[in-house]
Amino acid sequence: MLLKAQSISKSFGPVKVLEDVSLQINEGDRIGLVGANGAGKSTFLRILLGRESADTGEITRRTGRIGYMEQFAESSDDVTVRDVLRRPYGGMEEITRRMAEIEEIMIAGGDIDWNALAEENANLESQMAKFEMELDDNLERMLEQVGLPKGMMDRTMGSLSGGERTKVMVTRLAVQIEDCDLLIMDEPTSHLDISTVEWMERTILDAGCAVLVISHDRYFLDRIAQRVMEIERGRSREYKGNYSEFVEKKNMEVERAQREYERYTDQKRRQEAIANQMFHDQRRYMSDYKTRLMLISKMEEKERPEESKEISMRIQAAHKSGKNVLMADGLSVERDGRTILSNIAMDIQKGDKIGVFGANGAGKTTLLDALLGRIPSKGDLWLAPGAKIGYYSQHHESLDLDLTAEEQMLMVIGRDRKADARNMLARFLLTGDTVTNKMSTLSGGQRARVALCLLLHDATNLLVLDEPTNYLDMESKHVLEGALAEYDGVVITVTHDRYFLDNVCNKVAEVSGGTVTMYNGNYTDVKGRPVPSAKAEKGEPYRVLAPFTNWVDRRKYAKGDKVVIKPSEWKGFENAFNQGKLKKL
């Protein structure tokens, strides 16, 4: 056992963030920590690290060799990259702490063994010098591995972009990991491109140390996590397996609890009805009536499962365009005399859902701008005359931050439709002060939901999305994926979210070295685990007899829907079939 937390609670004023959270981390454990925004995940990590105290509960640490990658990289103009990378960690931090203790003991004086302390301090200084020498040899090599130049060592953190700062923190992680028993990370993949995230995954898996990570990157959690702990309403619950297995098990739990509650209420209602009938003829049934009441009182009471609020998202599709929607041949883009992209060939047809991925700065957003005619390009470019385009920018330029969300909606749908505006925003869980406060005060996730609400209001048949899952929590991502899967139009999306690429896209385009390469299939088909070249699966048609939600992809089905299910997809439908909600045609 490396670290153990028992019954941790934490409040900030009247707000109780953590109520009863427990976790044990053993050698080699790889644990994903998930929960809604504001659930207290980062607070719990700070308590584990000793950077914040718990109100109640107990923390037991059996190692000081703990590395930490915080959520927000430092951005000070007074701190250089070298300063950040050379900060003590793991074994270095233990040595630094003990040397400080020895110094305090010597200053205090008294009856102490001066020779023993001096000898221990000399040994520690020798170990520290060895650490620092090895560290200096590794730093520049590690920077290059994450795509940063050697000359960056003396630049200030404030002069770097968000992605560069995160890569510096990844470098620090890679240096720490060799000298740590436990690595704790808070949103480590934010602002990183896929290649850097995959390098991080390999580094973590090769190191073999224990890992505890908060992440909204579902693909990352699938690769890293062997256990998932969820913090929900202040309490913790653990599940074996990776993120996808957690989703399946959690949904099964919710549905089972709902069935048990419904069964309990039905039985109680039936027993009460029988008792009431007996009460009307007290002379014949009084003893039976009292017995029945006693049986009702002894029934094990089941609590009604607390309903979680869900975003309601359905994308309105305009009339379909023809078979060919967008074609490019020999397309190139130049900027400041430099060629950014060249010889682009794309044939986008009705039904295509194309995911665009590549390294930061490779030209993914430039590609979108060129295809939409937003920037000059050379070569042949044709867009179907009937194309109705909806565009989503990762920077939310369409939002006026001086307006409220309600005012922004009214500008689009009409000033006299205040009730409609409120209803549309409520479908995205935007209510109360979130609707009436200026958008400059909203979080990134709230702004993203306002932008999506505006985008989905208009009927389109071609959606162009630039990093649509940035700032969204996991539930919102699942809902967006389900809506896009049902959307009849064409989707072209730039994203670093591999889980999104797998769940939405039937084609992917890799932007690298100034070129664009198209592939059939999703990200995992092309870049992930090998896919056998067996013949395509054949699905069987089913009719939906009662509403249900697919456990795996969270897609909702209504009574009367027809669905074709392949053998590999059966897991998400099995429970609905067993409950009589699906019938084979």
Same domain, 255 and 386: no
DSSP H or E run through 541: strand 540-544
* 100 contacts 125 by C-beta, under 8 angstroms: no
Same domain, 227 and 294: no
In angstroms, the CA 498 to CA 484 distance is 15
In angstroms, the CA 55 to CA 234 distance is 13
Find all residues with CB under 8 Å of 135, minimum gap 6, and list them: 85, 86, 175
Does 306 fall in a domain?
no
Using 50, 70 and 90 to split pLDDT, how confident is the model at 517?
very high
Same domain, 92 and 193: yes
Per-residue H/E/C for 359-382: CCCCCHHHHHHHHCCCCCCEEEEE
Does 319 fall in a domain?
no
Give 497-502 contacts, CB < 8 A, sequence gap 24+. 497/217, 497/218, 497/219, 497/469, 498/194, 498/219, 498/357, 498/523, 498/524, 498/528, 499/217, 499/218, 499/219, 499/222, 500/355, 500/468, 500/469, 501/355, 501/357, 502/219, 502/528
Does 303 fall in a domain?
no
Between β-strands 324-335 and 338-349, what pairing exists: parallel, antiparallel or unpaired? Answer: antiparallel
- Which residues are paired to 34 by β-bridges? 230
Location of structure tokens 């030209």 = 363
348-397 tens-digit pLDDT: 998 899 999 998 888 999 999 999 988 999 999 999 888 889 898 887 87
* 482 contacts 554 by C-beta, under 8 angstroms: yes
Same domain, 329 and 437: yes
What's the chain's average pLDDT? Answer: 83
Q: What is the pLDDT of residue 4?
A: 95
As for how many domains the chain has, the answer is 4
Predicted confidence (pLDDT) at residue 47 exceeds the cutoff of 90: yes
Maximum Cα–Cα distance for the chain, whole Å? Answer: 101
Nearest 10 degrees: CA dihedral of 235, 241, 245, 250?
-20
Does 37 fall in a domain?
yes
Q: How many percent of the chain have pLDDT more than 70?
A: 86
Predicted confidence (pLDDT) at residue 532 exceeds the cutoff of 60: no
Same domain, 457 and 559: no
399-453 tens-digit pLDDT: 888 899 999 889 888 888 888 888 888 878 788 888 898 888 887 778 888 888 8
Using 50, 70 and 90 to split pLDDT, how confident is the model at 535?
very low
Work out the average pLDDT over 73-94: 72
Same domain, 100 and 77: yes
Residue 467's CATH number: 3.40.50.300
For the ranges 112-121, 205-214, 245-254, 466-475, the one whose mean pLDDT is highest = 205-214
Does 308 fall in a domain?
no
Work out the average pLDDT over 220-237: 93
Same domain, 331 and 408: yes
Work out the average pLDDT over 308-334: 73
Nearest 10 degrees: CA dihedral of 475, 479, 484, 488?
170
Local structure of residue 89 (DSSP, 8 states): -
Q: Which of the two residues, 3 and 265, has the higher pLDDT score?
A: 3
Same domain, 92 and 224: yes
Does 456 fall in a domain?
yes
What beta strand segments (E) does 70-142 contain?
none
In angstroms, the CA 72 to CA 22 distance is 25
Q: Which of the two residues, 314 and 194, has the higher pLDDT score?
A: 194
Same domain, 357 and 488: yes
Estimate the crossing angle of helix 405-413 against helix 444-457, to 10 degrees: 10
Using 50, 70 and 90 to split pLDDT, how confident is the model at 306?
low
Same domain, 497 and 546: no
Q: What is the pLDDT of residue 531?
A: 37
Same domain, 425 and 506: yes
Domain residues for the domain of 71 are: 3-246
Distances (CA, A) of 219 to 225, 479, 500: 10, 16, 9
Predicted confidence (pLDDT) at residue 84 exceeds the cutoff of 90: no
Does 318 fall in a domain?
no
Residue 567's CATH number: 3.40.5
Q: What is the pLDDT of residue 562?
A: 78
DSSP H or E run through 399: none
Domain boundary among 246, 263, 282: 246
Same domain, 452 and 354: yes
Does 240 fall in a domain?
yes
* 232 contacts 36 by C-beta, under 8 angstroms: yes
- Which residues are paired to 230 by β-bridges? 34, 237
161-188 tens-digit pLDDT: 777 887 888 888 777 777 788 999 988 8
Using 50, 70 and 90 to split pLDDT, how confident is the model at 65?
confident
